[in-house]
Amino acid sequence: MYKRLDEYIAHLSRNKSPNTIRNYEPQITKFLKWIEGNGYMVEPFELDQEIYLDYIDYLKLKHSAAKTVHSYMTSVYGFLNFLHRKGYISKMPFMDSKEMNEYLPIIQKKKVRSLSQAQLKNMLFAVQGDTLRELVIRLFYDTGFRVSELVSLKVSDIDVDFDRIIVNTRGKGKGGMSKERAVRLTRKTYDLVKKMVNERGFESEYVLASFKTKKPFTTRRIDQIIKEVAESVGIEDITTHMFRKSIATQLLENGMPIEYVSKYLGHASVTTTIQNYTDIDRSIHDKFDEFHTSL
């Protein structure tokens, strides 16, 4: 079965991101070791559903977070589906992933965490005169970028079409494949981009590049910058993803149809936007352009 796992990982590498593979492989390996330790590693590998339910119970005891149990079983189910398609096993333990999910713990939906206009203003006030930090904050809020998209942003990705400044970005898509979308920059943000590029004193195709290494910033460094600025104005437990949720919340509250918001964020499904980015408890703010002008 470990050879089958190697084959599956090789298969995944064709269309899954390295991060996904780094999660799948140890999770499936843990499952195989549990199977082996309980004497279920047999040929042919035809195990009753009860054995998989026992493994789910084991995961529930081992991990308190429901998301972790779901993550492990998603990995295992994908592996079993591969084995079934290849003819290595003759049947699946569950009719489909939906049936399997009925045995998994319920993931409680968390309240959307986003930044208020006052918090954004405080962060921008704290970084006045610091081109890098102000640019990072404004880029996040203008575009709804994931941090991986931010560090990958190139100067050539920005197009100026009269009064519209458009960024063409490639983000996370279905099956780990790159998904393209176009987002807007405000004039203030674009002016900071030009200032950054003109004043840094070295050539780089990337908008955000380290003065020390001359290479693009890492996602870890961007996380650190955001946390440092947030802590300086009393904002705790901030994540870069909160900017993405903030722009989604603002656009929805200002009347933009959710289908457009979903497309702006690069979601594969409107359902993702509804489940993760709507917050009906927030008050109505100014319109998008008016909001950015006030910052």
Task: Judge if 145 and 284 occupy the same domain.
Answer: yes
Strand 178-185 to 164-172 pairing: antiparallel
Question: Per residue in 8-56, pLDDT tens?
Answer: 999 988 888 787 888 899 999 999 999 999 999 888 888 899 999 999 9
Task: Judge if 156 and 281 occupy the same domain.
Answer: yes
Q: How would residue 284 be classed by pLDDT, with cut points 50, 70 and 90?
A: very low
Task: Inform me whether the pLDDT recorded for 69 exceeds 70.
Answer: yes
Task: Inform me whether the pLDDT recorded for 285 exceeds 90.
Answer: no
Query: What integer is the mean pLDDT of 146-151?
Result: 90
Residue 231 in domain: yes
> Percentage of the chain surpassing pLDDT 70?
86
Task: Judge if 195 and 272 occupy the same domain.
Answer: yes
Q: Which of 261, 256, 283, 288 has its CA nearest to residue 272?
A: 261
Query: What integer is the mean pLDDT of 247-251?
Result: 77
Q: How would residue 281 be classed by pLDDT, with cut points 50, 70 and 90?
A: very low
Range of the domain at 240: 117-294
Q: Rounded mean pLDDT of the chain?
A: 84
Instruction: State pTM to two decimals.
Output: 0.59
Residue 112 in domain: no
> Percentage of the chain surpassing pLDDT 90?
53
Helix (H) or strand (E) holding 86: helix 66-86
pLDDT at residue 180, rounded to an integer: 78
Task: Judge if 40 and 128 occupy the same domain.
Answer: no
Residue 111 in domain: no
